[in-house]
C-alpha cells in the first residue's frame, strides 16, 4: 500500500525541480539589459551629458567621419546634450524598438555624468531583440561647442549572436576618439559653450563643416575651456584637467550586461510550491 505522506514528499521534490526548470526557461525570453556608463576622467576633467543608446537591425547609422552630420536631431545632442530629438528620430526610423538614456542621477538637475561617476539604467528585452542585436550610443563631452563620442560603424557592437546568445560587452572611449561635429565653431566663448554660460540651445556660430576627430581645446592661458570655471550646485568647479587630447586620456567606459527579470524568478517557484502545498494537504487528509 502506498504511504500518502511519502507520496506527498516525493511530489514536493518533483515540483521544486520542475518549478526551477520553468524559472530558468522563462528568464531566457524575459530579461533586462543593464547599461552602465563610467566617467573615467580625473577631477576637474570633462563632464558627459546623458548617454543615448538604441538597439537596431544594423542600419541605424549615426554618423560618417568626413561627412556632414546626417540629421538635425543628432545635432541637438552634439551641440546641446539633448536626447529627446534623437530618441524621437530613432523611434520613427523603423530600425529598432529598444532604446534608453543613462542619466547622471537625481543630484544632477539635467543629468550630467560628472568625473568619477558610475551610473546605470535597465532596459527590458524579449525574443524580438534577435532582429535588432546591434548597439549604438552617443553623448556630448562638456564643456564644449560640439564635442561628442558615438559609434561611426553601426555594426561595431553586436549584443546577440545569430542563435540568440548574449555577448557581454565593455569598452573604453579615449579622448583621441572624441569627434568634432563640425556644426559649430569651436570658439570656446562661455556664452556659446554648453555647460559654461550658454543659457539656450542652438547658440553659437554655425560652422557648416564635417564630422572629424576633435582637435582639442585651446591651450591653457588663452581663455578657453581649460581656463574656465563655473558655479555648480553651490561650489566652483574648473576644467584644468579637461585636455582629452592628453596621452591615454580615457573619457568613458560603457558596459552592457544581461540580468534576469526578478518577477520571473520569484513568481513561478512560489506558484509551484503553493500548488504542491494544496496537494500535500489533500494526501494527508486521505491518510487520516
CATH superfamily of 31-260: F-spondin domain (2.60.40.2130)
- CA 6/CA 18 separation, integer angstroms: 18
24-28, 42-46, 92-96, 249-253: least confidently modelled range: 24-28
| 3-class state of residue 257 by DSSP | strand
- How far apart, in Å, do the first and last CA atoms of the chain sit? 15
Q: Which long-range contacts (CB under 8 A, 24 or more apart) does 264-273 make?
A: 264/23, 264/26, 264/27, 264/30, 265/23, 265/27, 268/19, 268/22, 268/23, 268/26, 269/16, 269/19, 269/20, 269/23, 271/19, 272/15, 272/16, 272/18, 272/19, 272/22, 273/15, 273/16, 273/19
Q: What region does 242 belong to: left with phi over 0, alpha with psi -120 to 50, or beta?
A: alpha
Model pLDDT, residue 19: 36
Over the stretch 127-148, which tens digit does the pLDDT of each residue have? 889 999 999 999 999 999 999 9
- Say yes or no to pLDDT of 43 above 70: yes
> Hey, what's the cell of 57?
537591425
CA atoms within 13 A on the CB side of 177: 16
- CA 54/CA 86 separation, integer angstroms: 10
Over the stretch 142-173, which tens digit does the pLDDT of each residue have? 999 999 999 999 999 999 999 999 999 999 99
Domain ranges of the chain: 1-30+263-288, 31-260
Over the stretch 86-113, which tens digit does the pLDDT of each residue have? 999 999 999 999 999 999 966 544 689 9
The count of other CB atoms within 10 Å of the CB of residue 240 is: 15
Over the stretch 199-211, which tens digit does the pLDDT of each residue have? 999 999 999 999 9
Over the stretch 210-245, which tens digit does the pLDDT of each residue have? 999 999 999 999 999 999 999 987 889 999 999 999
Mean pLDDT of 112-129: 94
- Say yes or no to pLDDT of 17 above 90: no
- Say yes or no to pLDDT of 270 above 90: no
Amino acid at each position: 500500500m502506498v504511504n500518502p505522506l511519502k507520496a506527498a514528499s516525493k511530489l514536493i521534490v518533483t515540483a521544486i525541480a520542475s518549478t526551477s526548470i520553468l524559472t530558468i526557461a522563462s528568464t531566457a525570453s524575459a530579461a533586462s539589459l543593464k547599461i552602465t556608463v563610467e566617467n573615467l576622467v580625473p577631477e576637474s576633467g570633462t563632464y558627459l551629458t546623458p548617454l543615448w543608446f538604441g538597439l537596431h537591425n544594423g542600419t541605424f547609422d549615426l554618423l560618417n567621419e568626413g561627412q556632414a552630420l546626417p540629421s538635425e536631431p543628432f545635432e541637438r545632442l552634439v551641440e546641446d546634450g539633448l536626447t529627446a530629438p534623437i530618441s524621437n528620430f530613432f523611434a520613427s526610423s523603423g530600425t529598432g524598438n529598444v532604446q534608453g538614456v543613462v542619466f547622471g542621477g537625481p543630484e544632477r538637475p539635467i543629468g550630467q555624468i560628472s568625473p568619477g561617476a558610475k551610473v546605470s539604467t535597465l532596459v527590458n528585452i524579449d525574443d524580438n531583440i534577435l532582429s535588432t542585436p546591434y548597439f549604438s550610443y552617443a553623448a556630448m563631452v562638456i564643456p564644449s561647442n560640439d564635442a561628442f563620442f558615438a559609434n561611426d560603424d553601426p555594426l561595431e557592437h553586436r549584443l546577440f549572436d545569430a542563435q540568440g546568445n548574449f555577448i557581454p560587452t565593455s569598452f573604453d572611449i579615449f579622448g583621441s576618439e572624441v569627434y568634432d561635429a563640425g556644426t559649430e565653431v569651436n570658439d570656446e566663448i562661455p556664452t556659446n559653450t554648453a555647460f559654461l554660460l550658454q543659457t539656450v540651445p542652438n547658440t553659437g556660430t554655425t560652422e557648416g563643416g564635417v564630422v572629424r576627430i576633435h582637435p582639442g581645446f585651446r591651450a591653457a592661458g588663452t581663455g578657453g575651456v581649460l581656463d574656465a570655471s563655473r558655479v555648480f550646485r553651490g561650489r566652483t568647479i574648473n576644467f584644468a584637467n579637461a585636455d582629452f587630447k592628453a596621452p591615454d586620456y580615457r573619457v568613458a567606459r560603457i558596459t552592457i550586461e544581461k540580468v534576469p527579470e526578478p518577477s520571473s524568478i520569484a513568481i513561478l517557484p512560489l506558484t509551484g510550491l503553493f500548488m504542491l502545498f494544496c496537494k500535500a494537504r489533500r494526501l494527508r487528509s486521505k491518510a487520516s
